């Protein structure tokens, strides 16, 4: 007879997992009209390189297969099928874009593949009732846009508002959320609306038409390339509205600098992560750690680029989920742990903002502060708002 020894915890592995590795996948716009976001994927790869160099997560390295879809939904479908059916990844992490992710959401939910921390500002990716395998990460437009509406009302209760938005779900939902935030005044206050396609060369004609409406307030709900083009055109035609801009386009490096910093003065947007251009964080330990990581693991990256903070922080959130999984690395447990983030404090979150999720709450980020550009950097103002 052999005496029974201690019972070891049983290891449970899903697809893409071995004793030494966790294989995950994503699609990212490294080319095409949304390529400004591509640095998010590069930052995530660089963060996992740091994690792996330090021993991985619970003894396993993370292998991220990051494929270019050029922000084209048909290409996204092709690449996601490759990741799920050929590469057999454990999960999909931070795939970029509202339209690309809309094209794959039903497929990945039917396959019961974790579709985690989707890089889209649309609430549809945080809908546990209808899509229990999808979870967003960024602050959705349904939370920050009503805060913009509140700000507009506080500055000018009789504002005449012109709106530019991308002709997709995120853009239309931004417009809808603005109207909701304005309440019964929306029909009177919004005097002009103009949309654009992601494939359009410019938005010049839309900006000229919006100015022609007599609007004194401009709601710029555009993605980075078009937000930048809009900022430049607004300035060049001598229009001086109160200018609020989608939080997803807050990058100084990718949006304001190409438009012209002097042309961006006064723009208001939302923030929930520390901006590397803001001198208030100069001596912040988390910012110093981020900068040291950039120098060592992403030296070709721009240390003034906000999207590199996004990629770093999203990757840290996934690492926390994987740590909580322990040796139960099944797809079911990955989703269970993603729904169990309690007062999780990421180093680069603005103080007072924490991540909380539950089985009925698939919104990791629910709070923000407003910030205004002063010609050199964003300046935070007001209190933490949101849910």
DSSP string, 13-40: E-TTB-SSEEEEEEEE-SSSTTGGGHHH
So what's the pLDDT on residue 10? 66
| Residue 60 vs residues 109, 220, 319: alpha-carbon distances, Å | 26, 43, 11
- Which among 322, 324, 301, 326 is positioned nearest to 311, based on CA atoms? 301
Domain edges within the chain: 12-139+284-366, 141-271
Burial zone of 16 (CB within 10 Å; 0-12 exposed, 13-18 middle, 19+ buried) = buried
pLDDT of residue 8: 45
In this predicted model, what pLDDT tens digit does every residue of 254-282 receive, in sequence order? 999 999 999 999 999 999 999 999 999 99
Q: Whose CA is closest to 230, among 147, 168, 165? A: 165
Decide which of 124 and 8 is more confident: 124
- Spatial distance between the Cα atoms of 212 and 175, rounded to a whole number of angstroms: 19
What integer pLDDT is reported at residue 16 of this predicted model?
97
pLDDT of residue 143: 92
Q: With a threshold of 0.85, does the pTM exceed it?
A: yes
Residue listed under structure tokens 């000229």: 208
CATH number belonging to domain 141-271: 3.40.50.2300
Contact between residue 243 and residue 266 where contact means Cβ atoms under 8 Å apart: yes
Q: For 37-90, how does the pLDDT look when each residue is reduced to its tens digit (9 = 90+)?
A: 999 999 999 999 999 999 999 999 999 999 999 999 999 999 999 999 999 999
Mean pLDDT calculated for residue range 136-153: 95
Contacting residues for 227 by C-beta, under 8 A, at least 6 apart: 220, 245, 246, 249, 255, 259
Mean pLDDT of 158-185: 95
Q: From CA 140, how far away is CA 123, in angstroms rounded?
A: 6
CATH number attached to the domain at 12-139+284-366? 3.40.50.2300
Tell me the pLDDT of the chain averaged across its residues: 95
Q: Establish whether domains 12-139+284-366 and 141-271 are of one fold.
A: yes
Task: Look at residue 5 and tell me whether its pLDDT is greater than 60.
Answer: no
């Amino acid at each position: 007879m052999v005496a029974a020894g201690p019972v070891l915890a049983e290891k449970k592995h899903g697809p893409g997992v071995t004793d030494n590795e966790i294989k995950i996948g994503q699609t990212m716009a490294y080319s095409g009209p949304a390529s400004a976001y591509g640095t998010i994927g590069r930052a995530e790869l660089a963060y996992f390189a740091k994690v792996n160099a330090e021993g991985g997560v619970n003894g396993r390295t993370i292998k991220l297969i990051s494929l270019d879809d050029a922000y084209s939904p048909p290409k996204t479908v092709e690449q996601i099928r490759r990741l799920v059916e050929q590469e057999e990844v454990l999960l999909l992490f931070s795939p970029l874009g509202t339209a690309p992710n809309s094209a794959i959401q039903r497929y990945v939910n039917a396959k019961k593949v974790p579709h985690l921390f989707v890089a889209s500002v649309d609430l549809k990716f945080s809908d546990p009732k209808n899509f229990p395998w999808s979870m967003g990460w960024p602050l959705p437009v349904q939370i920050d846009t009503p805060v913009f509406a509140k700000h507009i009302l506080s500055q000018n209760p009789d504002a005449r508002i012109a709106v530019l938005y991308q002709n997709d779900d995120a853009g239309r939902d931004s417009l809808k959320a603005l109207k909701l935030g304005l309440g019964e005044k929306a029909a009177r206050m919004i005097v002009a609306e103009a949309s654009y396609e992601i494939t359009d060369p410019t938005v010049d004609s839309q900006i000229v038409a919006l100015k022609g409406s007599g609007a004194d307030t401009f709601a710029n709900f555009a993605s980075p390339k078009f937000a930048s083009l809009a900022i430049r055109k607004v300035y060049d035609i001598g229009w001086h509205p109160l200018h609020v801009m989608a939080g997803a386009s807050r990058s100084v490096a990718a949006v304001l600098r190409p438009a012209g910093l002097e042309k961006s003065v006064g723009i208001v947007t939302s923030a929930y992560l520390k901006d590397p251009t803001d001198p208030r964080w100069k001596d912040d330990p988390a910012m110093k750690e981020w900068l040291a990581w950039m120098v060592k693991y992403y030296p070709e990256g721009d240390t003034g680029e906000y999207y590199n903070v996004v990629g770093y922080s999203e990757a840290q959130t996934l690492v926390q989920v994987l740590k909580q999984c322990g040796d139960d690395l099944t797809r079911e447990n990955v989703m269970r742990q993603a729904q169990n983030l309690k007062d999780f404090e990421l180093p680069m979150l603005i103080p007072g903002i924490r991540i909380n999720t539950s089985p009925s709450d698939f919104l990791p980020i629910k709070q923000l502060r407003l910030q205004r550009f002063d010609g050199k950097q964003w300046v935070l103002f007001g209190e933490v708002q949101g849910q």
